[in-house]
Amino acid sequence: MSYILHLGHQTSDLSGASGRISTDAAGFDPTLDVNCIKISTLPNAAMAFAAAWRLPTADLWLGFRYVAPNQSAHLIGVDGMFLEFYDAAARLVAQIRTRKDDDKYHAQANGDAAVEGASTFIAAIGQPYWIDVRVSVGASITIQFHVDGVLQSTATAANTAGKGRPVQCIWRNSALHEYYTVAPCYYAHIAVLDGVSTIGRRFVRRRPDLIGAYNQMPGGIEALKDDDPSTRVASDIAGQRLSFSLTGPTGPAGVTSVAGVHLKQIAQAGSAGPAAMAGFLRIAGADHDAAPGTPSPDLPTALYASWGVNPATGLPWTSATLPAEVGIVSA
């Protein structure tokens, strides 16, 4: 199973992001993606969006790029909320919150009691940051808040009530500045990993472009290119394949080593036909299938496949050996 729990900041990846996708250059890294989420709020208002994922088997890591509000980001007018983490029973597990008294972002563990940690982080106006949060849940709950790879705040609380590992994060966006009117901030490149640190990891999003060797699923490549789950391809016989080339950013200049290749598809089981889907890589005319996943029949489900090494050679990936064609296969 892939250690990927969630990748992406598109409207198909999140709830509450519709109408908030922006191409403002300040909001994203163009070597990784082509857009971002733009949030414009009053100093004492919230404008939330959220992501959900399957239950982690180890510590949860959340990473993303955050551009602080372009006005008064170094001042917090009222106590507010940046991030909230919930378990499968909708119980609050941990938070990153803002405080008026010191203008800082604080980690808080919500176990038997709410325990808030000291902080060293004050945001700068319009400054981009890489945020990484680690949440560990067992007999106690520990949250660590890292900014640009540096630990800024941590908190631990006892957990005799048995709260579970987080399966949802809400970006609350409450009280992130003290400007008298709206001030925009930006989010992009969201990644949630199971037991693997997000610090220093960057994920390049590439999208379907042109039909490849296989075109066996009705719906066409255009249904995969529009980031809209309501338009889709279909498979009524197990083993049908659809493959395609990729388009989009190619990653930071000068980076030649690649930690892994991940394929994300959003699928939904039908009332009849194949019950599972898998991703595959096509390299030098050979197909390399991942283990199939089972999507929900009730709603679109994100399925991830990961290859830590080149399956054709068994060697680590490099920028020169990345697959030019990938695809999906029903099972």
Q: How confident is the model at residue 226 (pLDDT cuts 50, 70, 90)?
A: confident
Classify 223 as helix, strand or coil: helix
CATH number 3.40.50.1370 given to 4-194: no
Q: Which of 66, 84, 76, 63 is nearest to 171 (CA)?
A: 84
In angstroms, the CA 285 to CA 128 distance is 42
Q: Mean pLDDT, the chain, as a whole number?
A: 95
Share of the chain above pLDDT 90, in %: 89
Cα angle value 11/248/198 (rounded, 5°): 65
May I ask the CATH class of domain 207-330? mainly beta
Q: Which of 259, 243, 242 is nearest to 251 (CA)?
A: 259
DSSP string, 199-214: TT------EEEEEEEE
Q: What is the pLDDT of residues 104-150, one digit of tens each?
A: 999 999 999 999 999 999 999 999 999 999 999 999 999 999 999 99
Q: What is the pLDDT of residues 240-281, one digit of tens each?
A: 999 999 999 999 988 888 999 999 999 999 888 899 999 999
| Strand pairing report for 128-137 and 140-147 | antiparallel
Helix count and strand count (H, E) for the chain: 1, 23
Phi, psi of 225, deg, nearest 5: -95, -10
| pTM (two decimals) | 0.96
Q: Decide whether 4-194 matches 207-330 in CATH topology.
A: yes
DSSP string, 257-284: EES-EEEEEEE---SSS---EEEEEEET
In angstroms, the CA 211 to CA 221 distance is 6
Q: Where are the domains of the chain?
A: 4-194, 207-330
In angstroms, the CA 16 to CA 1 distance is 28
Q: Is a pLDDT exceeding 70 seen at residue 201?
A: yes
Q: What is the pLDDT of residues 59-87, one digit of tens each?
A: 999 999 999 999 999 999 999 999 999 99
